[in-house]
Each structure stands twice: as C-alpha cells, then as structure tokens.
Amino acid sequence: MAITQERAERIARAHACSGCQEYSYRKVAVKPSSEALRDSLRVDWVAALTCGVCGLVSEVGIDGEGDVVYVG
C-alpha cells in the first residue's frame, strides 16, 4: 500500500457525493480492502461515506496511488 489510511480518507472526502454533488460528509470510514478487491480491481482502501446533505451512503475504492477506482 503506497498511501496511508489518513491520505485515503482525505481523498474520499474530496470526492463529491453521487446524489447531490456536495462535499459535506457526516460519516467517513476507511478500511483496507478485501483480498478479492485487491486482486481483481487493485483497490487498497475502501471508504464508506454518508452524505451530510442528502444522506446517501456510498462506497469509494482507492488504489495505492491515490486514484479513485470505483464509486458505488
């Protein structure tokens, strides 16, 4: 893993909400990705985000270089 958990959290917070396009999150939880995600998508960190405006719960996958791989 090239980036730290702290850096992955900052990257996740800098990603706009898919629902309302705001950057205000009520809750952000970043954890290491599962072995399956690491092998198939090369994702190192998974962030669970809860929007502070619309309440949408989404997930962001971040690779070792700090790029967002998927948003779901």
Please write the tens of the pLDDT for every residue from 4-32: 999 999 999 999 999 999 999 999 999 99
Side chain identity at 25, as an amino acid letter?
Answer: Y
Phi, psi of 9 (to 5 degrees): -65, -40
Report whether pLDDT(1) > 90: no
Report whether pLDDT(41) > 70: yes
Q: Average pLDDT, whole number, for the chain?
A: 95
Q: How many domains does the chain have?
A: 1
How high is the pLDDT of residue 4? 96
CATH (domain of 36): 2.20.25
How high is the pLDDT of residue 66? 96
Taking every pair of Cα atoms in the chain, the longest distance, rounded to a whole number of angstroms, is: 34
